[in-house]
Structure 1
Amino acid sequence: MLDHAAILALRTRDETSWTERDVMLYALGVGMGTDPMDGRELPFVYERGLKVLPTFPIVPSFAGGPLFQIGIDTRYLLHGEQSVTLHKPIPTRGRAVVEGRMLGAWDKGVGKGAVFAQEKILRLVGDPDPLATVVTTAFGRAEGGFGGPTTGQPAPHRVPERAPDRSLAIPTTPSQALLYRQSGDLNPLHADPEAARVAGYPRPILHGLCTYAIAARAVLAACCAYEPERIGHHQARFSAPVYPGETITVDLWIEADQVAFEARVEARDNLVVVKNGLTRLSGAFPQ
């Protein structure tokens, strides 16, 4: 039986590092540089004047963390929400300490599952100030009924009830998941047809974190002139899987210093695959 107080007391500390190659591989994995003649995207995949995508902190912080020390049955664990907050510019190479803690655990009841939120703070080695904060929320379908609180989970961001200001259609490639997984998420669900079938899918699905980054690409293109330092925060909730090769349409609602967004697959009756999205734009990094 899970213990709520013990869950919230969990702490982890890991070390990580990355190089320019990791930065470029991640950008390629989320579809940047598909047109090698596009001078706006080339700086994200070419070492000359290399730029770092604002969602990149997911890569060096991906492994480890307290979420996987709880004792959750990972066979029934679903990725629910993701956010990245940037506190300062991300260097193209670095060594960092990743400190993890649990933000919350909410009990939906016996047979109804539970929600868990984990925070990871990255600090460059030798720098006491945070570089980025990464928050992951997951739904454990088999974990309900452990006696945790039933309320208090942060409410998702609501997109405006009007037509979007911009919509960008971004294609994925049939091999996109095979490339994205080279950034560290090696779950066979995204590569092995048999593993996908066992999980109930007709074929491997795209990583949710890849779709999440594609939504950030849309904001970067539509609102930031491809200047990654203009994005200070990016959050979203996952609602359905994408299959590699599908085109993702990202709808954007632009309001001053923030952009609400959703993503859908038109070819599947406009199925919404990412919802409750919010990107905060900033000339200065939040503290």
Structure 2
Amino acid sequence: MPIDPARAVAAPPRSAEISWDRRDVQLYHLGLGAGVPATDPDELRYTLESRLHVLPSFATVAGAGRGIVGGLSTPGVDIDLASVLHGGQSIRLHRPIPVQGSAVSASRIAAVYDKGKAAVLVLRAEASDADGPLWTSESEVFVRGEGGFGGERGPSVRTGPSVRTGSSGEPDMTAEPDKTVERPVREDQALLYRLSGDLNPLHADPAFAARAGFDRPILHGLCSYGMALKAVVDTLLGGEVARVRSYRARFAGTVFPGETLRIRMWAGEGRIGVAVDAVERDGAPVLTHTVVEHL
């Protein structure tokens, strides 16, 4: 079997030095659609170096996303990347990400689950600089055709929305959302976003996309992920990126450049529930089980 679960989980972390500067941060923000309107003071916080702050989801591309790449090159993992599907992503911030910095990212396979027709790899990357931990990220990667090896099935994802109960502070996602915004995806957005490190031709080459079963290139899931977080920060967190403590989401469907994302938000106590869908395709789900924890 191309995946040896015991060997993969037992393998020591793979460390890589990563670095970034303001241009990397600005390019990432522009890839999420920041800067419209170009003179809006709120947008200049994402685009102008003298006012720049860093959206926490930048952690997914810092160092060109080497955390995920490092995990997939772990001993015990020998897979065809064409069979890989990014199923979910989470980030926990230990402190705000600096505009310019360098860090060591240590990546490892935290778990391997057997979902029957697929295996799920949980890739964990921990980034630290000279002052200590910066962030911890986890990516859930489905590997089609590699399940059925008799391993643990792993945690199940709740199918229903979170419901406020007592003092738990959970957002009540059965009620009307506290905020709904729509964000257009530009026709060239995938072409710009891919310059932050994910050069998969699925997001740029029509012929490659057709071979993968799509009639045209699709948007990166992590681009939708970043767009949703930006909408939450801008509307419910007063534009203060430092208030975000963690952010998690599951990728439920594809997005095509030129479409519009509808982002619905429900506020709880220190938590915001989020659901994202594609307007032009009758509300086809894009991100589900999405939660922002904040100060």
TM-score range, shorter chain: over 0.9
Paired position in structure 1 for 2:210: 197
Paired position in structure 1 for 2:8: 7
Match of 1:75, SS? helix
Aligned Cα RMSD in Å?
1.5
Partners of 1:34 and 1:114 in 2: CA distance? 41
Alignment map for 1:144-159 (pairs within 5 Å) = 144-152=147-155, 158-159=161-162
Does 1:97 find its partner at 2:104? yes
Letter in 2 for 1:27: H
Letter in 1 for 2:246: H
1:145-187 Cα distance to aligned partner (Å, 9 max, x none): 2332123467689442222111110111000000000000000
CA contact 1:218–1:250 (8 Å) conserved in 2: yes
CA contact 2:188–2:257 (8 Å) conserved in 1: yes
Alignment map for 1:20-59 (pairs within 5 Å) = 20-59=22-61
Paired position in structure 1 for 2:123: 118
Paired position in structure 1 for 2:280: 267
Partners of 2:22 and 2:293 in 1: CA distance? 26
Paired position in structure 2 for 1:67: 72
Paired position in structure 1 for 2:19: 17
Partners of 1:135 and 1:176 in 2: CA distance? 25
Does 1:245 find its partner at 2:252? no
CA contact 1:104–1:118 (8 Å) conserved in 2: yes
Give runs of ≥4 in structure 1 deviating > 6 Å: none
Q: TM (normalized to structure 2)?
A: 0.90
Identity of aligned residues (%): 40
Paired position in structure 2 for 1:285: none
C-alpha distance 276-158 of structure 1, shift in aligned 2 (>3 A): same
Compare 155-164 and 28-37 and name the one that shifted more.
155-164
Match of 2:73, SS? helix
CA contact 2:53–2:99 (8 Å) conserved in 1: yes
Paired position in structure 1 for 2:138: 135
Gaps in structure 2 of 5+ consecutive residues: 163-172
Partners of 2:29 and 2:159 in 1: CA distance? 27
Partners of 2:159 and 2:71 in 1: CA distance? 23
C-alpha distance 213-60 of structure 1, shift in aligned 2 (>3 A): same
Match of 1:22, SS? helix
Paired position in structure 2 for 1:175: 188
Gaps in structure 1 of 5+ consecutive residues: 283-287
Q: TM (normalized to structure 1)?
A: 0.93
Partners of 1:34 and 1:137 in 2: CA distance? 32
Partners of 1:108 and 1:165 in 2: CA distance? 35
The Cα shift of 1:232 comes to 1.1
Letter in 1 for 2:35: G
Letter in 1 for 2:88: E
Partners of 1:33 and 1:251 in 2: CA distance? 21
Match of 1:118, SS? strand
Compare 183-192 and 3-12 and name the one that shifted more.
3-12
Partners of 1:27 and 1:157 in 2: CA distance? 32
The count of residues paired between Structure 1 and Structure 2 equals 278
Partners of 1:78 and 1:152 in 2: CA distance? 18
Match of 1:137, SS? strand
Of the three residues 273, 278, 283, the one matched with 2:291 is 278
CA contact 1:104–1:116 (8 Å) conserved in 2: yes
Match of 1:55, SS? helix
Partners of 1:81 and 1:143 in 2: CA distance? 18
Does 1:207 find its partner at 2:220? yes
C-alpha distance 24-78 of structure 1, shift in aligned 2 (>3 A): same
